[in-house]
A and B are shown apart, each in its own frame.
Chain A
């Protein structure tokens, strides 16, 4: 099993600013995924980065992975009010299953 721990717990920014969230984990991974959860809904898969990748982009999202530090970051550029949600990282072990989620980062984007 593998748990991701997100930091900070909460983040409040103005619309248009960038938001950075961090994730740390403990053991070797196969890949690491980031998810978003709007209040009262299921988790939505945002982006997956493999252990042999260092950076990945998808639209306004940028994910970095540093396997030597066992950490990842999610950057949302030019944030919008609609980005208000909780964000979770999910590191997946080699061998795969039982991903354990942390408490997430609650992002609030003020219009």
Chain B
């Protein structure tokens, strides 16, 4: 597609519920990133994929967070047993190549609210 698409746009989850957030990157983009952004803060790195390989997951805050990109295109970020501190905007970004030679394209994000 023309841009990075994220769904759902908004998600309200009860504490303890599992959620799955989807990212459709730009077709052909090799690199895919997930970021978490709390209100008033900059985006915090979560994880990075190059094609289907998850090369860096050092930013995932706990083992309740899991990301996959099985066919090297669409990615899903799953959060198990959600907690209130998981409330944030989750941003996905993709870039054409591994060195971001023409920059990243971000999606509009999924705003997760855990109640």
Interface residues of chain A, those whose CB is within 8 Å of chain B, are 1, 30-31, 33, 35, 40-45, 48, 88, 90, 92, 94-104
Which A residues lie within 8 Å of B4 (CB)?
42
- Write the B71-115 contact mask toward A (1 if CB under 8 angstroms, else 0): 000000000000000000101010001111111111111010000
- A43 and B102 contact, Cβ closer than 8 Å, known pairs A97-B50, A102-B42, A103-B42: no
State whether B104 touches A99 (Cβ < 8 A).
yes
Interface residues of chain B, those whose CB is within 8 Å of chain A, are 4, 6, 31, 33, 35, 41-45, 48, 50, 55-56, 58, 89, 91, 93, 97-109, 111
State whether B100 touches A31 (Cβ < 8 A).
yes
State whether B103 touches A48 (Cβ < 8 A).
yes
In the bound assembly, the distance between CA atoms of A23 and B86 in angstroms comes to: 29
State whether A98 touches B109 (Cβ < 8 A).
no
Which A residues lie within 8 Å of B102 (CB)?
48
- A103 and B105 contact, Cβ closer than 8 Å, known pairs A43-B93, A97-B50, A98-B48: no
In the bound assembly, the distance between CA atoms of A95 and B97 in angstroms comes to: 11
Which B residues lie within 8 Å of A44 (CB)?
106
